A = this chain, B = another copy of it.
Amino acid sequence: MKIRCGKNDLVSSISIVSKAVSSNKTSMSILECILIEVSNGIIKFTANDRELGIETKVKGEIEENGVVAIDANIFGNVIRSLPDGEVLISTDSSYKTTISCMKARFDLPGRSGEDFSGLPLIEKKDMITISQYTLKEVIRQTIFAVSANDNNKLLTGELFDITGDRMRVVSLDGHRVAIRNIELRQSYSDRKVVIPGKTLNEISKILSGEIEKEVNIYFMSNHIVFEFDQTLMVSRVLEGEFFDVDRMLNKSVYSTTVTVNKKALQDTVERAILLIRDNDKKPVVIGISNESMEFKIKSNIGSMDEFVDCSKNGDDIIIGFNPKFLLDVLKVVDDENITMYMIDSKAPTIIKDETEKYIYVVLPINFANV
User: A residues within 8 Å of B by Cβ?
Assistant: 74, 77-78, 81-83, 103-109, 267-268, 270-271, 274-275, 301-308
Cα-based distance from A302 to B75 in the complex (angstroms): 10
Cα-based distance from A308 to B102 in the complex (angstroms): 10
What is the count of identical protomers in the complex? Answer: 2
Q: Which of B82, B267, B304 contacts A83 (CB 8 A)?
A: B267
A99 CB to closest chain B CB (Å) equals 9
A267 partner residues in chain B, CB cutoff 8 A: 81, 83
Main secondary structure on A side of the interface with B: mixed
Contact between B306 and A74 (Cβ–Cβ < 8 Å)? no
Known: A109-B302, A302-B108, A302-B109. A74 touches B307 (CB 8 A): no
Contact between B302 and A81 (Cβ–Cβ < 8 Å)? no
Contact between A306 and B105 (Cβ–Cβ < 8 Å)? yes
Closest to A273 in B: B81
Closest to A301 in B: B74
Contact between A108 and B301 (Cβ–Cβ < 8 Å)? yes
Q: Which of B83, B106, B270, B303 contacts A81 (CB 8 A)?
A: B270
Cα-based distance from A270 to B274 in the complex (angstroms): 41
Cα-based distance from A82 to B77 in the complex (angstroms): 42
Cα-based distance from A104 to B77 in the complex (angstroms): 49
A103 partner residues in chain B, CB cutoff 8 A: 306-308
User: Can you list 24 pairs linking A and B with CB atoms under 8 Å apart?
Assistant: A74-B274, A74-B302, A78-B271, A78-B274, A78-B302, A81-B267, A81-B270, A81-B271, A103-B306, A103-B307, A103-B308, A104-B268, A105-B304, A105-B305, A106-B271, A106-B275, A106-B302, A106-B303, A106-B304, A107-B303, A107-B304, A108-B301, A108-B302, A109-B302
